[in-house]
Amino acid sequence: MKVLVFGGGGREHALVWKLRQSPRVSKVYCAPGNGGIMDEAECLPADLRSLQSMVALAEELRPDLTVVGPELPLTLGIVDELQRRKIPVFGPTKRAAQLESSKSFAKAFLQRHHIPTPHYAICTSMDEVQKALSHFSTPIVVKADGLAAGKGVVITKSKDEASGVCAEMLSGKMLGPAGSKLVLEEFLKGDELSFLVLSDGERVVPLVAAQDHKRINDGDMGPNTGGMGAFSTAAMLDDKMRDWLVNHIARPVIGGMKQEGLEYRGILYCGLMMTARGPMVLEFNCRFGDPETQPVMMRMESDLIEALEASVEGRVSDGDFRWSQDASACVVMSSGGYPGTFEAGKWISGLEQAGKVEGVKVFHAGTTRHDGRYFTSGGRVLGATARGQDLQTAVDRAYAAVEKIGFEGAHYRKDIGARALKNT
């Protein structure tokens, strides 16, 4: 069968890599792809900001399955358009994807369906912000309502700082239209957890859990990014807690969406905070996470295409996934200056040597390839991802790969998985 993957980041490279392992998949296309994906799929041009561009490509290829990686095509309605044309596509519709595209929609939905989430206020003006701030203690989390590529969340230490961030977001200077509506949220203490489930609109089945590292610098310092690394272990969730999350969060979300006429098919990513009050939903993503997909795919031992088809065709079951008990870890290498301004076009060395480290796969995110050489083309450039019998082994292998790679201005965190290792 032929598969088309929309996207060009590390997540899409991991999905392409896993899809190609299926004996049922004869051809993988990726649009637009990247330098590394070019080695494993046929990369084709497409503008992910244009429905017309994406639909035209899908119409031309008529793939047996289309997999949508990033959030923007989902929120534009690519799934709706391909469904109209009888092209099988994996992912939620535009209306269902509001769980990610509008944080205010998601918060109100959680409240309607009695799903645990932090206290919040929705604001569209500075007058509303000032009134809302009186109901919060510090720190205060300020979130842009719309999509902001992982950069629309700011943890403020004082009410003055919160007010200033809100003013900058509402003005449009910071995030453009994404910040025209804001969610103020109580700050929670605990461990973050990425909990993903596969849904066919009615049934859900969980994937293995992962933990992301959002901040740019070690010790969770500096601004938020799209994610600087992630890891996954069998010990992250015991059976009892996994079942609790399925029954008290995932199923109520999927059931609530169906009840509201918004049937949800695809991956539902629940960003959780595991607090002393119990698990709380911080956010939803309506697709695979990035960089969590990289370590999660490293642990998957079943056929990915079978699971994706089960979601599309309405037959999700508990047997859709098989997982290794090994641990996995991903260390993201980014361009200097990210998540702010950065220079592209830097030559990348050492990729072949890094790929020879035992248990390692280097996934490309922001790269291009010219004359057999690779160059940087984005903020997050590579994700050195490793599998090992335990987390320490996986982390050590990932960093051994990172040490063999070089490009001007390269930056990476040196503490991926460190807190979990300290607690073992």
Containing structural domain, residue 396: 327-422
**Domain assignment present for 47:** yes
pLDDT band at residue 424 using 50, 70 and 90 as cut-offs: confident
Residues 124 and 339: their CA atoms lie apart, in Å, by 26
Q: Residue 267 and residue 390: Cα distance in Å, rounded?
A: 27
Residue type, 83: Q
% residues pLDDT > 70 (the chain):
100
Q: How far apart, in whole angstroms, are the C-alpha atoms of residue 338 and residue 410?
A: 10
What digits encode the pLDDT tens for the residues 330-376?
999 999 999 999 999 999 999 999 999 999 999 999 999 999 999 99
Mean pLDDT of the chain: 96
pLDDT category of residue 147 using cuts at 50, 70 and 90: confident
- When pLDDT is cut at 50, 70 and 90, the band that residue 44 belongs to is very high
The answer to the question of residue 367 being in a domain is: yes
Residue 98 lies in a domain: no
Judgement on whether residues 196 and 311 belong to the same structural domain of the protein = yes
Query: Residue 21: is its pLDDT beyond 80?
Result: yes
CB 307 within 8 A of CB 207: no
- Does residue 316 share a domain with residue 237? yes
What CATH number did the domain enclosing 61 receive?
A: 3.40.50.20
Please report whether residue 114 resides in a domain.
no
Of 93, 110, 141, which residue constitutes the final position of a domain?
A: 93
**Tokens, residue 351:** 């990729």
- For residues 169 and 155, membership in a common domain is answered with yes
Same domain, 124 and 233: no
Residue 406 has what DSSP assignment? B
CATH of the domain at 402: 3.90.600.10
Is 186 in a helix, a strand, or coil? strand
Sheet holding 373-376, edge to edge: 347-348, 373-376, 367-370
CATH code (residue 198)? 3.30.470.20
Q: Which stretch of DSSP H or E encloses residue 59?
A: helix 51-61
**In a shared domain, residues 305 and 339:** no
pLDDT value at 151 more than 80: no
Kindly state whether residues 208 and 239 are assigned to the same domain: yes
Tell me how far apart the alpha carbons of residues 56 and 90 are, in angstroms, rounded to a whole number: 17
- Rounded Cα distance between 4 and 86, Å, is 15
Residue 177 pLDDT grade (very low, low, confident, very high; cuts 50, 70, 90): confident
182 shares a domain with 204? no
Per residue in 250-275, pLDDT tens?
A: 999 999 999 999 999 999 999 999 99
Q: CA of 3: how far to CAs of 28, 61, 94, 181, 343, in Å?
A: 5, 9, 21, 37, 33
pLDDT in the model for residue 98? 96
Nearest CA among 331, 291, 282, 340 for reference residue 153: 282
Residues 211 and 172 in one domain: no
Please give the single-letter amino acid code of residue 280: M
Confidence of residue 127 (pLDDT cuts 50, 70, 90): very high
Residue 238 inside a domain? The answer is yes
User: Which of 179 and 106 is assigned the larger pLDDT?
Assistant: 106
Q: How many domains does the chain have?
A: 4
Interval 45-80: pLDDT, tens: 999 999 999 999 999 999 999 999 999 999 999 999
Instruction: Please indicate, yes or no, if residue 102 is contained in any of the structural domains.
Output: no
Cis peptide before 118 (omega within 30 of 0): no
Tell me: do 207 and 294 sit in the same domain: yes
Q: What is the model's pLDDT at position 83? A: 98
- Does a structural domain hold residue 82? yes
Backbone phi and psi for residue 151, each to the nearest 5 degrees, phi listed first: -115, 10
Domain end position, chosen among 148, 166, 186: 186
Residues 87 and 130 placed together within one structural domain of the fold: no
